Amino acid sequence: MAIHPDAATRAWIAAAQGRFRKKLGRFERSLRWVPAESSHVTLAFLGELPDAAPIAQVLEACRCVPMDLVVSGLGAFPNPRRPAVLWAGITDPSGNLARLQSQIADAVTPWVKPERRRFQPHLTLARVKEAMHFGSALKPLLTQREGEPQAWHVDCFALMQSQVDSAGAKHSVIHTLRPH
């Protein structure tokens, strides 16, 4: 399950990636950048499933409500010294995103093991190609303000299918959920 940013937010992501690339210097070549048009906020990762129809049916019971999200701030998982992922953070002043994610996680437990990590909404900007020690080089870049925060209105959620190959992941929508 995922939320796709609108066109203005995808443009914000592309611009942030461009600025970030320039600042990274020699570390930039160690990263595989996620195309802005592929960006999404993952609400639940379901892995490989033989049939998505039962999941789509169960997800219809989740209480989806429209919400306004804000993209601001940069970070790294698991940490800035040895990152695997560079991301832009998502905030939701209403708290609706966290409630929806919790409902979805509960709904898909017959198919997926519950996630042990705390939900931290984000948009992935880049993945580190190979384990690399960035030392203290990345931390100052993550604490710099990355342009003005970008807000977008969310009114639909998507059950996605990902196909991964050597060029990266290709995502397609299987089912769309709209607020009811």
Residue 90 is predicted with a pLDDT of 96
pLDDT tens digits for 111-168? 888 888 899 999 999 998 876 677 777 777 777 666 788 999 998 888 887 777 776 6
Separation CA 96–CA 114 (nearest Å)? 20
Respond yes or no: is residue 133 known to be catalytic.
no
Domain count, the chain: 1
Q: What strands, in cross-sheet order, belong to the sheet with 41-42?
A: 41-42, 2-3, 157-165, 168-177
Burial of 118 (0-12, 13-18, 19+ CB in 10 A): exposed
Among residues 4, 122, 171, 180, the one annotated as catalytic is: 122
Residue 168 is predicted with a pLDDT of 67
Tokens of 47: 């892995």
Separation CA 137–CA 134 (nearest Å)? 6
pLDDT tens digits for 1-24? 899 999 999 999 999 898 888 888
pLDDT tens digits for 79-104? 888 889 999 999 999 999 999 999 99
Q: What is the mean predicted confidence (pLDDT) over 54-68? A: 86
Q: What is the CATH number of the domain that holds 78?
A: 3.90.1140.10
Among residues 4, 40, 133, 180, the one annotated as catalytic is: 40
Rounded to two decimals, what is the model's pTM?
A: 0.86
Residue span of the structural domain in which 82 resides:
2-177
Model confidence at 36, pLDDT cuts 50, 70, 90, reads: very high
Respond yes or no: is residue 153 known to be catalytic.
no
- Asked whether the beta carbons of 71 and 90 are under 8 A apart, the reply is yes
